[in-house]
Amino acid sequence: MPTFLDTAAPDFDARFSALLGQKREEAEDVDHAVAAIIADVRSRGDAAVIELTARFDRLTLTAETLAFSPAEIAAEIAKVTPEDRAALELAADRIRAYHLRQMPEDASWQEPTGATLGWRWTPVSAAGLYVPGGLASYPSSVLMNAIPAKVAGVKRLAVACPTPGGVVNPLVLLAAELAGVDVIYRIGGAQAIAALAYGTATIPAVDKITGPGNAYVAAAKRRVFGRVGIDMIAGPSEILVISDGSADPDWLALDLLSQAEHDQSAQSILITPDAAHARAVTAAVEKRLETLERREIAGASWRDFGAVIVTRDLHEAAALSNRVAPEHLELCVEDPEALSLEITHAGAIFLGAWTPEAIGDYVGGPNHVLPTARSARFSSGLSVMEFLKRTTLAKMTPEALRAIGPAAERLAISESLEAHGLSVRARLDRLNG
Amino acid sequence: MPTFLDTAAPDFDARFSALLGQKREEAEDVDHAVAAIIADVRSRGDAAVIELTARFDRLTLTAETLAFSPAEIAAEIAKVTPEDRAALELAADRIRAYHLRQMPEDASWQEPTGATLGWRWTPVSAAGLYVPGGLASYPSSVLMNAIPAKVAGVKRLAVACPTPGGVVNPLVLLAAELAGVDVIYRIGGAQAIAALAYGTATIPAVDKITGPGNAYVAAAKRRVFGRVGIDMIAGPSEILVISDGSADPDWLALDLLSQAEHDQSAQSILITPDAAHARAVTAAVEKRLETLERREIAGASWRDFGAVIVTRDLHEAAALSNRVAPEHLELCVEDPEALSLEITHAGAIFLGAWTPEAIGDYVGGPNHVLPTARSARFSSGLSVMEFLKRTTLAKMTPEALRAIGPAAERLAISESLEAHGLSVRARLDRLNG
């Protein structure tokens, strides 16, 4: 049974806080094993990567076959049906168009002092994208990670995707091609992260690594952070649906289940002021769970972490949503724009009942890599910004230095940093001398 | 002796790579102690913070005196000289003006399909700023961290600043006041980070923690990352000066020493095509080191990590600088704008010999919290962006869903995520039925 809460109940605050504090994932402690793998790849390079791939993925590679050849990629891609290709192309085009709009502007301006200030954005030179193998090998994730990198201007974009037993998902290779990926290595796990971060004879090091992965991949990303940049460490997915009762209960049930079917640690929450509607959606979830292919996973998620909350009104619903800071938020209400103005923390908002969250997973345009586990309080989804960095610019003239240099000198002295002060003073003396 | 390199020498590449790979800082392993402190603060709250402050800072506090009172702050600030106050105000005004320009724009647009897409920026609700105590208690760092937070719109900004033996730097309190800080706690170390991240009865939890600190603070920030957002973990500072030989060697010597005097792990590098100029700057450094107050620190830094590199031309100098990806880059050349276009990785660029790096530390306007240890390859200095997060927005109409929904359904099926596909299909069926 999911959790049922009513904000009018006397114990609501305690029970809602318990819901917020619920731990949905036991972090597997693989750090020791990962440290050893990284050390091995750093010291033995390709040989270590090849050995570990043989051990973990039952796949025999050589330095020459670490990467897919163009012919291999073409052969796999040829297996894709025209319908799947068209869908992936539509998604790629829309994701690209959305992310192009995110490109930030450079700036430069001159002050009355004569000083010129500004900044300039430049892309990361080389990035690596981790793509899980097996069941969680999602072509949509390839698009969502690779397209922002290429839009940002990353010159060399490498994909690492394990192919256990040599099996690869042709749609993953097509997604990489559509996104403009430069090279695809058939390696995975901590050894792939280590190879991308430190480089080997065959695999050049990158500057930034993004993409989802299992506990080993996550631990390896944490360990190489600093050596390279990484994206967030994603946790299990969440959806929160605020409904005023006007939408079809079955639609909302499917939206809640579309998170729940990802992972039994996923969380689906319905908040509505309409108690009868809450019961109708709950019944629709149970009904759909009878036949859903992934009913075991989705059912466990809904039973263990699902929640239905009845509120006094929609304002209270928005306030509770802000405390959750959900990854995905659907506003299935008559005036979603108005309610959205009350939302202060959410990874992505889907406005109105005609916008199922699944649209955002594939073809909406915005990124589907979003902050989980309440981190929308302080972080954003993946964007071109993760593949850009800003260099600040400052140029003084003699007059500008005369105007603001003495204040710098004084502050340097107050911080006992004499050379800082002298570097300004030597120039001011030239002006005065 | 600093390292002397010449790009024309046959062993240059190997020696430059060794310089890049040089380890300047031994990370002290305090993780075990920090984990215990965090656990203690999580379980015992204020009591733990008060005990740890008595032990580490020799200061007896109560829940009531954890924060400075307004009267205490006013009494300390009254000690600041008018000249120091004026300098700090000038710095605060300029930093605020620069960071106001960084505020990103919201976006919303309608597509031909009828779909509306966009994003909206919102501030982090509450942030904590760590300010080291003792010698490294820099009022300029308070401005550089606190002003971007307040410009971004952070409602509650808390400072944690240890006051060993009860001693506080009045300029730090004034800087906090000028920046609009809401509360100042006289606590430090891992216990301060734990209190900010998890909250106590007296100290409300924040969503984001920034600011420099010692090994304990850095380890604690790493540990609470995920629970809250953190800024980068800063390493020792660096400056790289590219000179065409036109600037006064003494100016450049002082600029190099202004990094070196921070920390004996700091690194100062001069790159120039003019070998005679390189010798002149080196001689000027030695001369200044005879009298500099912090000559022991600066001398050790210059001897152990300083480098002077003679190149064939300025293009080669820029290319080498990009391999270093320095935190601070001075372009002391005739046409710094032109050369700056060749720079792909640097935290901040100072254009022309009239722009000593120290201007950027205090009053230039751009932030002085910048990526160290070659991380300018993939990250940027502190800005308002660290205190904002982006929520993506999508709204479908029935017509828009008809246009792009089938592609989403097909991709969902290809990824074996049935409920995703059904959530789209149920709506499409309504349109068609």
| CB-based contact B408 A358, cutoff 8 Å | yes
Share of chain A above pLDDT 70, in %: 100
Q: Could you tell me the CA-to-CA distances from B164 to A277, B46, B74, B159, B211 in Å, in that order? A: 59, 18, 20, 16, 18
B169 is in an annotated binding site: no
- Determine which of A31, A121, A137, A395 to mutate to test the interface with B (most B C-beta atoms within 10 Å): A395
Cβ contacts (< 8 Å) between A94 and chain B: which residues? Answer: 404
Report the pLDDT value the prediction gives residue B232, as an integer from 0 to 100.
Answer: 81
Q: Which of B276, B332, B338 has its CA nearest to residue B308?
A: B276
Of the residues A328, A330, A357, A386, which is catalytic?
A: A328
| CB-based contact B364 A119, cutoff 8 Å | no
pLDDT band at A137 (very low <50, low <70, confident <90, very high): confident
Reduce the DSSP state of residue A150 to 3 states and report it: helix
| CB-based contact A426 B371, cutoff 8 Å | no
B240 vs A: CB within 8 A: no
Beta strand extents in A124-224 (DSSP E only): 126-130, 156-160, 183-185, 208-210
pLDDT band at B45 (very low <50, low <70, confident <90, very high): very high
CB proximity list for B167: less than 8 A, separation 6 or greater: B133
Cβ contacts (< 8 Å) between B139 and chain A: which residues? Answer: 411, 414-415
Domain boundaries, chain B: 31-106+126-230, 235-378, 396-432
Q: Residue A188 has which token pair?
A: 């995975």
- Determine which of A302, A329, A393 to mutate to test the interface with B (most B C-beta atoms within 10 Å): A393
Q: Is the pLDDT of residue A349 over 90?
A: yes
Cβ contacts (< 8 Å) between B120 and chain A: which residues? Answer: 340
Q: Which of A368, A431, A373 has its CA nearest to residue A402?
A: A431
Report the pLDDT value the prediction gives residue B152, as an integer from 0 to 100.
Answer: 98
B431 vs A: CB within 8 A: no
Q: Is the pLDDT of residue A59 over 80?
A: yes
The whole-angstrom distance between A130's CA and the closest CA on chain B is: 17
Calpha distance A252→A332 (Å, rounded): 8
pLDDT tens, A72-112? 999 999 999 999 999 999 999 999 999 999 999 999 999 99
Calpha distance A402→A400 (Å, rounded): 5
| CB-based contact A86 B346, cutoff 8 Å | no
CATH number of B31-106+126-230: 3.40.50.1980
B249 vs A: CB within 8 A: no
Report the pLDDT value the prediction gives residue B233, as an integer from 0 to 100.
Answer: 77
Q: Is the pLDDT of residue B26 over 80?
A: no
| CB-based contact B354 A398, cutoff 8 Å | yes
Q: Which of B13, B19, B11, B18 has its CA nearest to residue B308?
A: B19
Cβ contacts (< 8 Å) between A427 and chain B: which residues? Answer: 251, 353-354, 356
For A198, the closest chain B residue by CA position comes to: B21
| Gyration radius from chain B CA atoms | 26
List active site positions of B: 327-328
A116 vs B: CB within 8 A: yes
Report CA dihedral (B275, B281, B286, B290) to the nearest 10 degrees.
Answer: 160
- Residue B210 backbone phi and psi in degrees, to 5: -130, 175
Looking at chain B from residue 159 to 178, which residues have their Cβ under 8 Å from any Cβ of chain A? 171
For B423, the closest chain A residue by CA position comes to: A254
pLDDT band at A196 (very low <50, low <70, confident <90, very high): very high
Report the pLDDT value the prediction gives residue B125, as an integer from 0 to 100.
Answer: 98
Query: Could you give the maximum distance between any two Cα atoms of chain B, in Å?
Result: 88
CATH topology of domain A31-98+123-230: Rossmann fold (3.40.50)
B214 is in an annotated binding site: yes
Of the residues A177, A238, A327, A357, which is catalytic?
A: A327
Q: Is the pLDDT of residue A160 over 80?
A: yes
Q: Is the pLDDT of residue A147 over 80?
A: yes
| CB-based contact A391 B354, cutoff 8 Å | no
The whole-angstrom distance between B51's CA and the closest CA on chain A is: 27
B412 vs A: CB within 8 A: yes
Q: Is the pLDDT of residue B244 over 90?
A: yes
Say which CATH superfamily domain B235-378 falls into.
Nitrogenase molybdenum iron protein domain (3.40.50.1980)
B125 vs A: CB within 8 A: yes
B420 is in an annotated binding site: yes
Q: Is the pLDDT of residue A136 over 80?
A: no
A411 vs B: CB within 8 A: yes
Report CA dihedral (B286, B288, B290, B295) to the nearest 10 degrees.
Answer: -100
Report the pLDDT value the prediction gives residue B405, as an integer from 0 to 100.
Answer: 98
Q: Is the pLDDT of residue B338 over 80?
A: yes
Report the pLDDT value the prediction gives residue B414, as an integer from 0 to 100.
Answer: 94
Q: Is the pLDDT of residue B291 over 80?
A: yes
A355 vs B: CB within 8 A: yes
A–B CB contacts, 8 A cutoff, strictly below: 360
- Determine which of A354, A379, A431 to mutate to test the interface with B (most B C-beta atoms within 10 Å): A354
Cβ contacts (< 8 Å) between A224 and chain B: which residues? Answer: none
Cβ contacts (< 8 Å) between B422 and chain A: which residues? Answer: 254, 258, 288
Amino acid at site A15: R
Calpha distance A364→A360 (Å, rounded): 5
Calpha distance B124→B388 (Å, rounded): 6
A375 vs B: CB within 8 A: yes
Calpha distance B278→B281 (Å, rounded): 5
pLDDT tens, A247-295? 999 999 999 999 999 999 999 999 999 999 999 999 999 999 999 999 9
| CB-based contact B258 A420, cutoff 8 Å | yes
Cβ contacts (< 8 Å) between A417 and chain B: which residues? Answer: 258, 261-262, 294, 358
pLDDT band at B432 (very low <50, low <70, confident <90, very high): confident
What region, left, alpha or beta, does residue A398 occupy, with left being phi > 0 and alpha being psi -120 to 50 degrees?
alpha
Q: Taking residues B315-336, report their average pLDDT.
A: 98
A133 vs B: CB within 8 A: no
Q: Could you tell me the CA-to-CA distances from A310 to A5, A242, A245, B43 in Å, in that order? A: 6, 10, 11, 32
First to last CA, chain B: 83
pLDDT tens, A227-237? 999 998 778 88
Q: Could you tell me the CA-to-CA distances from B291 to A422, B268, B284, B286 in Å, in that order? A: 12, 19, 12, 10
pLDDT tens, B362-397? 999 999 999 998 999 999 999 999 999 999 999 999
B191 is in an annotated binding site: yes
> Is A31-98+123-230's fold the same as A235-378's?
yes
pLDDT tens, A379-426? 999 999 999 999 999 999 999 999 999 999 999 999 999 999 999 999
B208 vs A: CB within 8 A: yes
Report the pLDDT value the prediction gives residue B77, as an integer from 0 to 100.
Answer: 97
- Determine which of A141, A331, A392 to mutate to test the interface with B (most B C-beta atoms within 10 Å): A392
Residues in a beta bridge with A328: A239, A348
Give the single-character DSSP code of B213: -
| CB-based contact B248 A426, cutoff 8 Å | yes
Q: Is the pLDDT of residue A25 over 80?
A: no
Q: Residue A245 has which token pair?
A: 């009762």
The whole-angstrom distance between A78's CA and the closest CA on chain B is: 16
Cβ-in-10-Å burial (0-12, 13-18, 19+) of A201 comes to exposed
Alpha helix (H) residue ranges in B135-243: 139-152, 170-179, 189-198, 215-224
Give the single-character DSSP code of B208: E
Cβ contacts (< 8 Å) between A377 and chain B: which residues? Answer: 124-125, 207, 229, 389
Looking at chain A from residue 51 to 90, which residues have their Cβ under 8 Å from any Cβ of chain B? 83-84, 86-88, 90
Instruction: Tell me the pLDDT of chain B averaged across its residues.
Output: 96
Share of chain B above pLDDT 90, in %: 92
Question: What order do you get walking across the sheet with B229-230 strand by strand?
Answer: B183-185, B156-160, B126-130, B208-210, B229-230
Q: Is the pLDDT of residue A68 over 80?
A: yes
Calpha distance A333→A337 (Å, rounded): 9
For A229, the closest chain B residue by CA position comes to: B378
Report the pLDDT value the prediction gives residue A1, as an integer from 0 to 100.
Answer: 86
| CB-based contact A394 B345, cutoff 8 Å | no
| CB-based contact B426 A229, cutoff 8 Å | no
Alpha helix (H) residue ranges in B3-80: 12-21, 31-44, 46-57, 70-77
Instruction: Tell me the pLDDT of chain A averaged across its residues.
Output: 96
| CB-based contact B394 A91, cutoff 8 Å | no
Q: Distance from CA of residue A50 to its chain's centroid?
A: 29
Cβ contacts (< 8 Å) between A82 and chain B: which residues? Answer: none
